[in-house]
Structure 1
Amino acid sequence: MNSPVLNSLHNGLSVFSTPRSVAVVGASSNRTKWGYWLAAGAIAGAHRRDVHLVNARGGDVLGHACVTSLAALDEAPELVALCVPGPMVGAVVDEALAMGTRGFLGITAGIEDEGEIAERIRAAGARLVGANSLGIYDAAGELDLSWGNFTAGPMAIVSQSGQLGSELARLGQHNGIGVSRFVSIGNQTDVTAAELLADLVDHEATRVVVVYLESFTGGAELFDSIAALRAAGKPVILLTVGASAAGSRLARSHTGSLTAPVDIVDAACRAAGVLRAQSPGEVIDVARSVIAGAAPAGRRTVIVGDSGGQCGIAADQAAAHGLSVPPLGDVADAALTDLLPAGAATSNPVDLAGAGEADLANYVNAVALALADPDVDSAVLTGYFGCYGADNPGLIDDELALAQRLADAARTAGKPLYVHSMEAAGPVADALWAAGVPTFGTVEPLLRALSGTAVYREPARDVAVAPSAGVAPTAGYWNARALLLDEGVSFPAGAVVTTVDEAVTAAADLTAPLVLKAAWLEHKSEVGGVKVGLTRDDVAAVFTDMHTRLGDGDYVLEQMDTRPDGVEVLIGCQRHPDLGVTVTVGTGGVATEVYADVVMESAPVDAATATDMISRLRAHKLLAGWRGKPATDVAALADVVAAVSRLAATDSRITEIELNPVRVAPDGVHALDALIVTDN
């Protein structure tokens, strides 16, 4: 990985975590003002660095004397925090640059000449976080220039929304997770999220990274940084907003109308091995579980409970969150049958059927036997455990001892255990968390967290490609067809015709039924630019009619694909300006938008990934054979998906590709129409 961002990992960013000196310009004694909070935070670190407070009226703040300007200082502060009115920012920056300041934290919002100020900062070899930042914090560096207070811990937060970042920090604190570093990136006028994430790779105090973004400018560098964090064993959890967040343009193809920009973000996350969380609550649940070391090696879980109803709800929620609940093997099933009362469910889910109440140790025994099954990756204990000591204080010591034994059983098995307890706030739950066993008061967030942590044990995909130097794509179906034929995509026999005589001559060499297309049109059926099922005798009249309506151009006469048991599929690719190329597979044909049955991944994909994409379609049952019909050639379809994705990813001139429909039959795959859009 040779990203410019990663290569410049220490390019001036240490000034935002371990500066030798800090100046707060706009320091104030008024607790309702930014200048107060930044001054208070700076003073708290005065034993680590020189702290200077600047206020145009002088005076003192929190017992520290203020100077009236930076020029009054004997030294150049390494880091200057700007919390002065917008019109004053430029002059303060210029004064600091003349002194030799290396870093600026821009709190002020709405600065008219913000871009020009940032250019001056960069030209002087300095850096700017912000403007419109909510502040920065580094626990190891004892640097706090922000509103509010942080508790030190292992979670780093890089957020485009300062207040949302603060919410994440507060939620973490309420759930026992402190912050290692906090950066509100604001407008990213200079320092970017990608750079700040890269700077966390070697940050020893950070074990998990949370990033909130509303835009993905410089997406390639961003995901390079995320990959470096993953390689360093620091999982990244991404939080973002809806369909407008990625700023994707409106595509010309059907593919573009079927997907939202957030789908492109999701595809990039899956390729990079990053969880895109749905809410701040999910972020914290997953972060806590990751820190606890509870990431499973796979998505197969066994559910153990003391209530059939709770076991059933847990199984349903597991499926809803992409986890599987497979039957246990014969060995585990037999051992559980010997342990539990007659009639207990022992396959998966495992219902203790009163055995836990009869002997609390059976919670541990059942979980240990279930975890020993080689075909499961994790266990979920759901129900009453954790409540015994709360309801009967005489049992609290026994239950605490069993909590430790549960954790030991999971550690021995080398698989995580998650506990859903009806008493999730108390000494037993605290003991379980402390022992590395995530414990939740309801089962839905538990299974959401278990599914989320599984992402970090799944392999990431390398979507980096070498640029292609192939033939330049040109407009029109026939040109697209020729280029795709070279990539191994099959089309029916056909010919280009421009006159009625050429059409009649071509028909004589083709096998009816035939199809006539106006090859230069992108959406032919919508304007009567395609006619199917033609005999040779039909060709002259149909060509004359189409030519009269649509005018001169390249028409294509092709043999019609009449193979039985075919299924129509769409294959499309799009190039996003920041997040690269994606490939989409979906239900094809004229009703593509009606079904909206699509799966998207970052391109290129190999045949195995393409096969997985196809298996996730609702239409997969049709491809696999439905109601006695033979299965189609899914392997050949996967090869076509891989080939198209490779072409789109390697040729930077291509902005879109769409094959629709692609007809998949038991004996192979034919593309029946194709569109390639370039950037010229």
Structure 2
Amino acid sequence: MTTSEAARVPEPVPEPVPEPVPGAIAEPVRDPEAVPLGGPLSADAALTPLWRPASVAVVGASDDPAKWGHWLARGALLGREIRAVHLVNRRGGRVCGRPAFPSLGGLPQAPELVVIAVPAPAVEAAFDDALAAGARAVLVISDGLGRLTGNPRLADRLGDRARERGVRLLGPSSLGIVDTQAQLRLAWGDFSAGPVGVVTQSGQIGTEIAYLLARLGSGVSRFASTGAQADICTEDLLDSLAGHDATRAVIAYVEGIRDPQRFLRAAHLLREAGKPLVLLTVGSSPVGSAAALSHTGALTSGTDILEAVCRGVGAVRATTPAHAADLAHALALGVRPRGSRILVVSDSGGQGALAADLATERGLDLATPPTTPPQSPVPAPVEPRNPVDLAGAGEQDLTVYASVAEWAAAAGTYDALVLTGYFGRYGEDIPTLATAEAEVAARLARVAPTLPVLVHTMAGGSPATQTLRAAGVPVYADIDSTLRALAGCAQWQAATPRPPGRHPTAPPGPPGPQLPYLQAREVARAVGIAFPEAGVAESAREAVRIARAWDGPSVAKVVGHTHKTEVGGVRLGLETDADITAAFEDFATRLGARSVVIERMDTRPDTVELIVGLRYDPGFGPVVLVGAGGTSAELWRDTALELAPVTIDGARAMLRRLTCRPLLNGWRGAAPCDVDAVAAAVAALSTLPGRDPTVVSAEINPLRAGPDGVLAVDVLIERAAAPAAPTANHTETTEEES
């Protein structure tokens, strides 16, 4: 069921008044840890009327199980011992065995939260009734308001009206909200209680995540579908989860980030609260990838920037709902490996080998067993190695599984243990072994606080898997899910979030003309980028004079072209006066050049060409990129990107992510490059927006890295276009301006 179902909520029809059916509405189970009404407000106080209302009214409540109003009424009544619940149906009568009021105006008290699930044409009137009744928050389930009412701005108008009255509005087109601790269930679907908060811009993806968590033996603490975000948005809801004690990890599915800076602040709040954020997005992110005139724009994407955002705030990005659920499940259980060194233990050579391959793909390190390990728990002739193949030892003695885990914890070599294979199924297939297997599972669980343990099992709900889950050990049905979750936990634990940036988040204006090459060089030099000697010549004779100032060959570059190589505007290896003269005259004749840059050619051996670029993202501000450079930069697309500015250490981390990194370290006998100098250049360029707020984009391509440092041999810089000077008559345009 999707939120679009709400658009098809039919007009209420007269219904028979049913007698209460025993068991039709489950009696609420009061959570002993639930915060009572009137208790202390936490950090989510701004949304208290939404999350912890003293009373709820459901407008459009119905006895028809096929209607949204029925699910909402049933869910609201689950919390009737905690808060007042009012059901509103314009026909009156009884709904779910309770009297229904024909209108909000007839309620005995002001409802703090009003839930609206009526046909789209009736939403605006219901919303006005909610405001008149004194509601402090309104949840609008109904969908298709613009399409079905002929008013495309109706949702925005409801949001404006809510803000004018100081009322919070979630929706329209929301799938609903759930707070399992507070017995607040105002959504379609079933939600198991658990430690994971879910904020989603797609109601159906959100419910899929909730179901996936339930299958893992977990569940949701809070669930919120944002809908149209006419008022309450993703960032508000993330803020509210930072102070929610029952939430230990958060999944956010986003298709568009309305306020990137608020999103960054909310993510920082979650990190500071120790609540890992798992971000699930689609590829076409609203952050966009506005192309610059250089390669940099073509080499960046919205996905790249969101990855950088995750690194910057210490979040982890997931690629599918299942990935998000697997990862949040482990993070919520407190899986915090110190590093990426793992031990794989299996009772099948094949399963162990598959796990080893997948672990390597996920960036995990199958650490070598210690040279002087504690006495091996594995019977001869099997020796401890990685992966450990028990080779039937478990069938002889179930306790070997626990013994290996205890041995690994004592060895101190590993950051996590992954058990893959048959364990957990002994008790299912041989019931007489169920108790013994559960006792081994309890020993494994006692290891987990010292050495994180994750289990992939072929079993279902056996006593052993129940014991593991009850003790907080993540259990998965396939090895890839297990290893992806572990890799994400290691990534979250190793993250070093940067403090919120103080640099401008939006470009200073639309780009103007590129700076002349020599001027662009000076701007880059001012932040610490090194260039070869150069000069600009307006005649062949002057070009020769400039080149005589240094030894060795020169380079001639045409002025005024973005991609000089593509128009034949670069000549390398000019050794003689005749070479330089010929280059100048060719550019003048063929390209109409009036001036030519003459630059000393970098002839150092063992150099590697890189690209370093800077541009503004429309939402998150300046970003810096480094990658394989030269004329083939767009072909290789080997890049690393971060939010700017970066430190030198941050730039080193970027370089470590490049596929071409071995070239920098010395490839096939070449001398290694000065990586520290490369990192310093990347960090220097990333500071440009803070040093010169007029810069819109910058690119050095190539930056030539060698054993003795780096030299930039081409640079493009765009500054913001200057605003037009006001004239006495703004209706006229001069011939020059035309």
- Normalising by the residue count of structure 1, what TM-score does the alignment of the two structures yield? 0.92
Match of 1:675 in 2: 716
Q: Aligned pair 1:42/2:76, yes or no?
A: yes
| Other structure's SS at 2:283 match | coil
Candidates 195, 218, 226, aligned match of 1:177: 218
Separation in 2 of the partners of 1:675 and 1:323? 39
Match of 1:20 in 2: 54
The alpha carbon displacement at 1:498 in A equals: 3.8
Q: Deviations over 1:169-219 (max 9, x none)?
A: 122223222221111001212111111111111112211211110112212
Query: C-alpha deviations, 1:361-402, integer Å up to 9, x for none?
Result: 222222222222233211122333333333433322222211
Q: How does 1:275-674 map to 2 (within 5 A)?
A: 275-332=316-373, 335-336=375-376, 339-342=378-381, 344-411=382-449, 414-467=450-503, 475-535=515-575, 536-551=577-592, 555-648=596-689, 653-674=694-715
- Whole-angstrom CA distance in 2 between matches of 1:520 and 1:76: 70
From 73, 79, 88, the equivalent of 2:113 is: 79
In the alignment, the residues of structure 2 paired with residue 443 and residue 62 of structure 1 have an alpha-carbon distance, to the nearest angstrom, of 45
Partners of 2:107 and 2:478 in 1: how far apart? 57
Structure 1: distance between partners of 2:271 and 2:445: 26
Task: Give the secondary structure class of the aligned counterpart of 1:227.
Answer: helix
Identical-pair percentage: 43
Instruction: Specify whether residues 288 and 12 from structure 1 end up closer, same or farther in structure 2 by C-alpha distance, changes over 3 A only.
Output: closer
Task: Tell which deviates more after alignment, 637-646 or 579-588.
Answer: 579-588
In structure 1, the partner of 2:235 is 194
Displacement, 1:327? 1.1
Q: Secondary structure at the match of 2:626?
A: strand
In 2, Cα distance between the equivalents of 1:320 and 1:442?
Answer: 16
User: For residues 410 and 94 of structure 1, what CA distance do their matches in structure 2 show?
Assistant: 55
Report the AA paired with residue 493 of structure 1.
E
Hey, what's the Cα distance between the residues in 2 that align with 1:163 and 1:434? 29
Within 5 Å, give how 1:170-249 maps onto structure 2: 170-244=211-285, 246-249=287-290
Give the superposition deviation at 1:421. Answer: 2.8
- AA matched with 2:143: A
Instruction: Confirm or deny: 8 A CA contact 1:573 1:657 kept in the other structure.
Output: yes
Classify the secondary structure of the residue corresponding to 2:372.
Answer: helix
Compared CA separation, residues 550 and 385, structure 1 to 2 (3 A): same
Q: Which amino acid is 1:445 matched to?
A: S
> Hey, what's the Cα distance between the residues in 2 that align with 1:424 and 1:371?
27
For the pair 1:92 / 2:126, whether they are aligned, the reply is: yes
TM-score (norm 2): 0.85
Give the C-alpha shift of residue 651 in structure 1.
5.3
Structure 2: gaps spanning 5 or more residues: 1-41, 146-151, 722-738
Q: For 2:535, what is the secondary structure of its paired residue?
A: strand
**CA shift in 2, pair 1:11/1:72, >3 Å:** same
In 1, Cα distance between equivalents of 2:128 and 2:464: 58
For residues 522-552 of structure 1, the C-alpha deviation after alignment (integer angstroms, 9 at most, x for no partner) is 2221222322222332223322322344445
Deviates further, 113-122 or 633-642: 113-122
- Deviations along 1:533-583, whole A, 9 cap, x unmatched? 223322233223223444456642211111111111111223212233332
**Contact 2:158–2:230 at 8 Å: present in 1 too?**
no
Q: Secondary structure at the match of 2:681?
A: helix
Partner of 1:3: none
**3-state SS, counterpart of residue 190 of structure 1:** coil
Q: Contact (CA 8 Å) 2:340, 2:487: kept in 1 or not?
A: yes
Alpha-carbon distance change, 634 to 424 in structure 1, aligned in 2, over 3 angstroms: farther
1:167, distance to aligned residue in structure 2 (A): 1.1
CA distance in 2, matches of 1:403, 1:219: 45
RMSD of the TM alignment (CA)?
2.6
Contact persistence 2:179–2:221 (CA under 8 A): yes
Q: Does the 8 Å CA contact 2:199/2:223 hold for their aligned counterparts?
A: yes
Cα deviation, 1:590-630, whole Å, max 9, x if unaligned, reads: 11122221122232222222222212222111111111111
**Corresponding letter in the other structure for 1:647:** L
Kindly provide the amino acid, as one letter, of the partner of residue 285 in structure 1: D
Native 8 Å contact 1:513 1:533 kept in 2: yes
Q: Is the 8 A contact 1:314 1:443 kept in 2?
A: yes
